[in-house]
Structure 1
Amino acid sequence: MMREGPRRFADHPLRTAVLHEVHARPFHMMEAPRIVLHFAFMTDGEQTAVARARLSELCLRNGLSPPTEQARHHVVALLGGTLRWESHAEFTTYSWDVRGGIGALPPETPFGDAFDPPGPLMVAVRLDLVADERPPAEILEALDPGSLAVSHVAGGRGIIATDFREDGDGFTRLLVIDRGLGAQEAGPVVQRLLEVETYRTLAMLGLPEAQRLQPDIRRIETELVANTGRFRASEGFEANRALLDDLTALAGELEAGAAESAFRFGASRAYAEIVRLRLEAMGEHPIEGYSSFTAFLARRMAPAMRTCQTLESRQQDLSRKLARAAALLRARVDVELSQQNRALLDSMNRRARLQLRLQQTVEGLSVAAISYYIIGLLGYFAKGSGMVGLDIDPTHLTAVAVIPVAFAVWFVVRRVRSRHSDGHGDGV
């Protein structure tokens, strides 16, 4: 009997991975008080593999299940808390949460002296989840008021706050105040807030790249204007070819810089969009007297993102202008090259005509010379004709033979030249 349902069909090789991806990063329930330490390290493919191997060693030492060889995320219970490891395209994150409130860090964490980071540190966050009914001003008095961002989330059942500054331990401090969130709401708020800080930091990596490229873009723009002026005034094949070489060099330099920065600018746009989506998902609302997360980041991140976007637009616009200028100049060079080729062909035709005249002259001289020798031979024959019983006057024979011999030699030379011309197809 044939089985019913989808199990009787052959699965696509990626079906399981795609189905499980939606459950790959579930929200975890959290209850106040809780401390979360979150780190993000910049890693390439090799460093990610090393990080996975070290995590496997840590799990095996503690009798825990290690991550699989292709795993991109893993969760284990460690040191009384929960350690979450996750691999991304260009960075790797570690998050460890344990019971505790605002105050000193736990005496032992997974990130002590034995921890070997997989790459350069980019994000270090300490998040405190606390239940506190005091007014926000009393709870937040330890944070810098000059850069403080505070918002209601989850319909007012929680408050999130940060000053985006590092504390004495090198952590950016985040605070989530539970005003009735519950474990199922607190977990998503904490995770999204950590993602906001992580992607906010990574998005800003595009700004130094834009600042690095700005002088080069400005210089190329200036040189393009100068070369455009030269283009209007340049004359002659060599001058135009030199100008084309300069434009090609500028285009190559521009494309090299654009290729180097394309990933960084694209990643910054993607990270900024993730930040926006996470803030929307938290449903934040401003608290009177404080800047909201969205407003604060709009003032700080938006100019940086616009700088990256503007520079990328300048790269694209400059690339199009260089391409147009090079195309116009290449057309001029091609026209001048065609003129040179035409002049060269005319010169070759003139030389061919001169060669033909010279050949005809040589042919005429050759006919005369050959005829002279043949007639001379006939004269010698006539002088010795008496030896064979003939009496031929050499003078008469020579005079009579001149025209027939010259005509015969001319005819033979003409036939030879005609056959040579037909054989080589030169038409001369």
Structure 2
Amino acid sequence: MSGEVVIGSAHDARLAPHALRSVILGEVHARPFTPIVMPARVLHFAFDTAQERSQADRVNLSKFCERLGQAAPAGRDKQHRISFDGGALRWEQHSEFTTYTFELPSKASRPFHPSASALATVLAAIPQPGPVLVALDLHLLAADGAPSLDRMFDRNSLAAAENSDGKALFATDFQVDAAGFVRILVLDRGLGPERAGALVQRVIEVETYRTLALLGLPHVQRLSPSIDRIEQRLAQLTEEMRHAAKLVDNHRLLDELTALAAELEAGAAASLFRFGASRAYNEIVQLRLHTIGERKFEDLPTWSSFLARRMAPAMRTCLTTEERQATLSSKLARTANLLRTRVDVEVEQQNRELLKSMNERTRLQLRLQTTVEGLSVAAISYYVVGLFGYLVKAASEAGVLRIEPSYAIAAFVPVALAGIWWIVRRIRRRHIAAAD
């Protein structure tokens, strides 16, 4: 499909399309309904092909097409149809799963005969794409002469309904048979090939997406014990916070809160996609059932009522677990922030006390330094005066000095003190200036 728009009669007069225009326009026609002529047998499989398995499956399908002499799917094609002797194969690749749907003519008037396992041998020609999620055996028959539903399905889990205008009846018990297939019977009361194909595809999608939606339930069962334990421990830690007075206790509580938050976030991150996918698949199931427009058949529950009783609680459990994770994460964050604030305040108080102690120690050191400087001046002056005394006495004995030596020494004492004090003070100022 070309995304260009031609204007006028000239071939070169075209409007350049958006890069995704062709993809968007083609998506509407991506999965058209396939007309099905009654009677028919449809075998439907869904495989988990997440991550690299999807590419390997595409390669294997291409090889299968080559063996049949048919075109393989293009590089980005998500749907492909292959015709072969006795039927057709419809291949669809989704984000996390791939479906193989075999449309086979049916010559038997007896429902589900021959067995699905005998008809599915053609699938053995293709390597299994991944773990199987859905194996469905659908039989489309005329309503005239059909046996009683109670003879084919388990009455305890049997669900049946007519479509909006009563032209078809579809029934199943949602249980697997001995070969592992879930069986669905569709009785045609005058649908026509096009409407029969549309109904069959919607019924198949209901069963496929129902199974995929319930994949979130095992995650809930795995996460619930951990969430319960984290909730209980959070309540205990909050109570311990009320009585914790020491910084070491608050640090211990904060470390444990951080560990609980990390454990919770790891579980939430692992289940985020699964819970979101379960919600989306459940919405598709409800939309398909609404489109079919079920009408009650006899005293049997419709598919919607049966699934509402069996499937809706599982979906609510998934939603509740997701909400519990979000609420618990918020509580852990608030508690950790509160405790972190307390720890920060205590650390700041300790820092203030430490700074106060350092200031006091600095003042003591300054006083000691001043005292030492005074003693140093006195000691140095003493030695200088002593040396000066020797000099004066020698000069007096030699007759050079005519005054009494003791008077000269006494007069020199204040001069020595002042000079040495000035020298020491200058040296200290020079050291302070160099440090700055």
* Cα-to-partner distance string for 1:295-326 (whole Å, 9 max, x where unaligned): 00001101101111111111111111111111
Return the alpha-carbon distance in structure 1 between the equivalents of residues 105 and 389 of structure 2: 135
In the alignment, is residue 166 of structure 1 matched against residue 171 of structure 2?
no
Return the alpha-carbon distance in structure 2 between the equivalents of residues 29 and 146 of structure 1: 33
Tell me the secondary structure at the aligned position of residue 295 of structure 1: helix
The range that moved more, 334-343 or 388-397, is: 388-397
Q: 2:8 aligns with which of 4, 10, 14?
A: 4
Residue identity opposite 1:284 in structure 2: E
Q: Which runs of 5+ in 2 are unaligned?
A: 1-5
Aligned to 1:366: 376
Tell me the secondary structure at the aligned position of residue 12 of structure 1: coil
Q: What displacement does 1:7 show? A: 6.3
Return the alpha-carbon distance in structure 2 between the equivalents of residues 81 and 389 of structure 1: 145
Aligned to 1:53: 59
The range that moved more, 414-423 or 297-306, is: 414-423
* Cα-to-partner distance string for 1:3-60 (whole Å, 9 max, x where unaligned): 5399612222222111111111111111110000100111123110011101000101
In the alignment, is residue 340 of structure 1 matched against residue 331 of structure 2?
no
The range that moved more, 357-366 or 382-391, is: 382-391
In the alignment, is residue 230 of structure 1 matched against residue 236 of structure 2?
no
Aligned to 2:159: 149
Aligned to 2:197: 187
Tell me the secondary structure at the aligned position of residue 165 of structure 2: helix
Q: 1:28 aligns with which of 34, 37, 49?
A: 34
Return the alpha-carbon distance in structure 2 between the equivalents of residues 41 and 3 of structure 1: 46
Tell me the secondary structure at the aligned position of residue 417 of structure 1: helix
Q: 1:411 aligns with which of 419, 422, 427?
A: 422
The range that moved more, 5-14 or 34-43, is: 5-14
Alpha-carbon distance change, 61 to 388 in structure 1, aligned in 2, over 3 angstroms: farther
Residue identity opposite 1:11 in structure 2: P
Aligned to 2:89: 83
Aligned to 1:201: 211
Return the alpha-carbon distance in structure 2 between the equivalents of residues 7 and 116 of structure 1: 49
CA-based RMSD: 1.9
Q: What displacement does 1:386 show? A: 6.0
Aligned to 1:115: 126
8 Å CA contact 1:189–1:282 kept in 2: the answer is yes
8 Å CA contact 2:7–2:15 kept in 1: the answer is no
Return the alpha-carbon distance in structure 2 between the equivalents of residues 422 and 286 of structure 1: 99
In the alignment, is residue 128 of structure 1 matched against residue 166 of structure 2?
no
Q: 1:94 aligns with which of 88, 93, 100?
A: 100
Q: Which runs of 5+ in 1 are unaligned?
A: none
Tell me the secondary structure at the aligned position of residue 185 of structure 2: strand
The range that moved more, 126-135 or 359-368, is: 126-135
Return the alpha-carbon distance in structure 1 between the equivalents of residues 269 and 192 of structure 2: 48
Residue identity opposite 2:85 in structure 1: L
8 Å CA contact 1:148–1:161 kept in 2: the answer is yes
Alpha-carbon distance change, 327 to 144 in structure 1, aligned in 2, over 3 angstroms: same
Q: 1:283 aligns with which of 277, 284, 293?
A: 293
Aligned to 1:351: 361
Alpha-carbon distance change, 109 to 10 in structure 1, aligned in 2, over 3 angstroms: same
8 Å CA contact 1:79–1:108 kept in 2: the answer is no
Aligned to 1:259: 269
Residue identity opposite 1:281 in structure 2: T
Residue identity opposite 1:17 in structure 2: V
Return the alpha-carbon distance in structure 1 between the equivalents of residues 212 and 254 of structure 2: 40
Q: 1:221 aligns with which of 231, 234, 242?
A: 231
Residue identity opposite 1:21 in structure 2: E
The range that moved more, 25-34 or 96-105, is: 96-105
Q: What displacement does 1:376 show? A: 2.1
Residue identity opposite 1:121 in structure 2: V
Residue identity opposite 1:220 in structure 2: I
8 Å CA contact 2:261–2:329 kept in 1: the answer is yes
* Cα-to-partner distance string for 1:204-252 (whole Å, 9 max, x where unaligned): 1111110111111110011011101100010111111111111111111
In the alignment, is residue 43 of structure 1 matched against residue 53 of structure 2?
no
Tell me the secondary structure at the aligned position of residue 170 of structure 1: coil
8 Å CA contact 2:64–2:125 kept in 1: the answer is no
Return the alpha-carbon distance in structure 2 between the equivalents of residues 239 and 394 of structure 1: 76
Aligned to 2:3: none
Aligned to 2:260: 250
Aligned to 1:381: 391
Residue identity opposite 1:216 in structure 2: S
Q: 1:420 aligns with which of 404, 415, 431?
A: 431
Q: What displacement does 1:72 show? A: 1.3
Tell me the secondary structure at the aligned position of residue 301 of structure 2: coil
Return the alpha-carbon distance in structure 1 between the equivalents of residues 399 and 89 of structure 2: 135
Return the alpha-carbon distance in structure 2 between the equivalents of residues 161 and 187 of structure 1: 16
Return the alpha-carbon distance in structure 1 between the equivalents of residues 187 and 305 of structure 2: 20
8 Å CA contact 1:79–1:110 kept in 2: the answer is no
* Cα-to-partner distance string for 1:67-126 (whole Å, 9 max, x where unaligned): 112221111102321101111111111001110153104855464443311111110000
8 Å CA contact 1:380–1:394 kept in 2: the answer is no
Residue identity opposite 2:96 in structure 1: E
In the alignment, is residue 400 of structure 1 matched against residue 404 of structure 2?
no
Residue identity opposite 2:159 in structure 1: A
